[in-house]
């Protein structure tokens, strides 16, 4: 593990979630895959998936990063129209 990279424990509980790797993976996805990833993350943060308990931090991070990538792409596409 490199120092300076924030990590969050993944849903499995024993392997760390590398934010740099997650961001790279999301950036490399096509739009349809990014949407599916965001929908899966949103479901994993829902009360139904967590039986009414708070969602795990790793799911929240994955959802946040998917949303950020989506916003980045939308902003970039709007910049093309200027």
**12 located within any domain:** yes
The pLDDT tens digits along the chain (82 residues) read 455 655 444 444 446 788 999 999 999 999 999 999 999 999 999 999 999 899 999 999 999 999 999 999 998 887 766 6
pLDDT, residue 6, reads 54
**1 located within any domain:** no
**18 located within any domain:** yes
Could you give the number of structural domains in the chain?
A: 1
Polymer length of the chain: 82
Radius of gyration, CA atoms only, the chain: 14
Q: Which of 11, 18, 26 has its CA nearest to residue 57?
A: 11
**53 located within any domain:** yes
**32 located within any domain:** yes
Domain span including residue 33: 7-80
pTM of the full structure: 0.75
Cα angle 18, 59, 73; round to 5: 75
Structure tokens at 39: 């929908």
Structure tokens at 21: 């790797």
């Amino acid at each position: 593990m490199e120092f300076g990279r924030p990590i969050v424990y993944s849903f499995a509980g024993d392997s760390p979630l590398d934010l740099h790797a997650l961001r790279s993976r999301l950036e490399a996805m096509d739009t349809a895959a990014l949407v599916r990833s965001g929908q899966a993350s949103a479901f994993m943060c829902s009360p139904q998936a967590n039986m009414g308990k708070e969602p795990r931090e790793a799911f929240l991070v994955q959802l946040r990063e998917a949303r950020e990538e989506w916003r980045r792409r939308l902003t970039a596409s709007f910049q093309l129209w200027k």
